[in-house]
Amino acid sequence: MNAYKGLSIALLALGVAAGCATHPANHVAQVVSGPPAKQQNVTVPVGPGPVQYTVQAQPAPGTCHFGKTADGQPLPDPVCTPGATNPKVTAANLADTICKSGYTASIRPNSNITGREKEANIKSYAFTGDPKDAEYDHLISLELGGDPNDSRNLWVEPPSPDHKPGAGIANPKDKVENQLHSLVCAGKVALTDAQGAIATDWTTALTVVGHPNGN
């Protein structure tokens, strides 16, 4: 082999390797393969946290699409609604934030704000059901350190398939949120693990963090 040709090939290989190391793929959230409870690695956007709330712009009408699990449970569009965390909640201050009674109520946006956002988000997702049966839901709930009013953390959650039309809001996701909250506050699950798991798929979140029965 020509010496110059050999040098060129070596430099090219070095450049490709360096490029792979310094330019990782741009994914909002990525789950590393392997046992979920051991190797989960999810990156969730960070929101502004509790601020002076204003009505937030929502994705353009019809640009978001609901997902469904095998048994028909609704999931948000991962592009429109990847979730967002509250930077004011950390593993170091849980006792003074999400694990303190009354904390979430103190940071919840006023319905005058969220009501208008919900109307716009209904159009974003092209939701055609009864709005009274759909919860304007924090994907990462406030009790898990979700951002209160970042549009990336809010979606119009349709009712579950066994829900009776007109019966109002009753979503099984709420129970998962409560169980994860108890696990985090009991020190059994890390805050970031719970946030990443529910942002990825609320129906599998408890299994992913290693507590499929919620305790």
**Among 152, 26, 177, 136, which Cα is nearest to 85's?**
152
Total residues belonging to the chain: 215
Query: Residue-wise pLDDT tens for the chain (215 aa)?
Result: 444 344 343 333 333 333 333 333 332 333 222 333 444 567 999 999 999 999 999 999 999 999 999 999 999 999 999 999 999 999 999 999 999 999 999 999 999 999 999 999 999 999 999 999 999 999 999 999 999 999 999 999 999 887 777 666 778 999 999 999 999 999 999 999 999 999 999 999 999 999 999 99
pLDDT of residue 178: 97
CA distance 108 to 58: 18
Q: In the numeric block, which tokens belong to residue 194?
A: 């719970």
Q: In the numeric block, which tokens belong to residue 143?
A: 């009790």
Q: Where do the domains of the chain lie? A: 35-208
Its pTM surpasses 0.85: no
Considering Cα of 82, then 87, then 88, then 90, what sign does the dihedral take? Answer: positive
Angle value at C-alpha 54, between 59 and 133, nearest 5 degrees? 60
pLDDT of residue 8: 40
